[in-house]
Amino acid sequence: MSVHDFTVKKKNGEEICLREYKDKVLLIVNTASKCGFTSQYAELEKLYKQYQERGLVILGFPSNQFASQEPGTDEEIQNFCQVNYGVTFPILAKSEVRGANAQPLYKYLVEQQGFAGLEFLGEKLSGFLKSNLPEFLVGDEVKWNFTKFLIDKQGKVIKRYESMVNPLDIAPDIEKLL
Q: What residues act catalytically?
A: 35
132 CB burial (10 A radius; 0-12, 13-18, 19+): exposed
Helix (H, G, I), strand (E, B) or coil at 52: helix
CA distances from 150 to 54, 126, 132 (A): 15, 23, 29
Q: How far apart are CA 176 and CA 178, in angstroms?
A: 6
Half-sphere exposure of 49 (CA within 13 A, CB side): 10
